[in-house]
Amino acid sequence: MSNANDASALYPVFFKKWQTAGMLKLLGPKPTSDQLAKVHALGPRPGKQAFIIACSLRDCGVTPAQMVLLTGTKHLNKMGDLTTDAYLREVLMPQIDGMKCYKREITPKGMQRIERTIKAEAATVAAGAAEAVKVPKVKAAAKKHTSGARKPKVTPATADKLPTVSPVTETDGPVVMIEIDRHDDGANHVTDLPENQL
């Protein structure tokens, strides 16, 4: 198996349990790296359930008490799913201290799945080795975060849209300025000035 050497390295916390005095008798033998790798090839990702399934592949199987000692609780979901899907087969074992012993074997269908997984991993590794070095992608510029309402788009004013002021002529009276505003429709509109500016 390609990951057989690394499989046991994924579970240092669980393997520490065997170092405590007297735990070997309670827990039984450690699951092998090969058993763990086969369980991973069947589909369960590394974790408590995969470790319990590997323990069920041991000759002695695994009891609910051992599951609790190893992982804190019983984990039977994935084991049940793999048994229902015929990747694992239940082996009847005598009860130990009044508790059921869960013992599983890998079926021929399970072995086919393991072989497919190993071939797929090997193909992925071969494709990765043969693949040319890719140029790293350039990250897109980060978008500015705008809070609140957006400002309206300002367009440059054109000559026909600018306000015009009528020429001032000298008179004897007060000077009055009128601002003429040109609109899009081409019509001129007189803007009334406040009275205090007259």
The 10s digit of each residue's pLDDT in 52-70 is 999 999 999 999 999 999 9
188: in domain: yes
Last residue of a domain, one of 90, 115, 130: 130
94: in domain: yes
Report in angstroms the alpha-carbon separations of 159 from 84, 107, 179, 188.
Answer: 81, 86, 15, 14
180: in domain: yes
66 and 48 Cβ atoms separated by less than 8 Å: no
Q: Which of 69-73, 90-94, 121-125, 171-175 has the lowest mean pLDDT?
A: 171-175
Assign 26 to helix, strand or coil.
Answer: helix
Structure token digits, residue 167: 């020429």
138: in domain: no
Query: Are 165 and 125 contained in the same domain?
Result: no
pLDDT tens across 81-100, in order? Answer: 999 999 999 999 998 888 89
Query: Are 170 and 79 contained in the same domain?
Result: no
Query: Are 92 and 190 contained in the same domain?
Result: no
Q: What domain count does the chain have?
A: 2
Q: Is the pLDDT of residue 158 over 60?
A: no
Last residue of a domain, one of 75, 109, 130: 130
122: in domain: yes
73: in domain: yes
pLDDT the model gives residue 21: 81
Query: Are 110 and 178 contained in the same domain?
Result: no
pLDDT the model gives residue 175: 57
Domain around 190: 160-197
Threshold 0.85, pTM exceeds: no
Count of C-beta atoms within a 10 Å radius of residue 68: 12
70 and 58 Cβ atoms separated by less than 8 Å: no
Query: Are 100 and 191 contained in the same domain?
Result: no
146: in domain: no
Query: Are 175 and 121 contained in the same domain?
Result: no
135: in domain: no
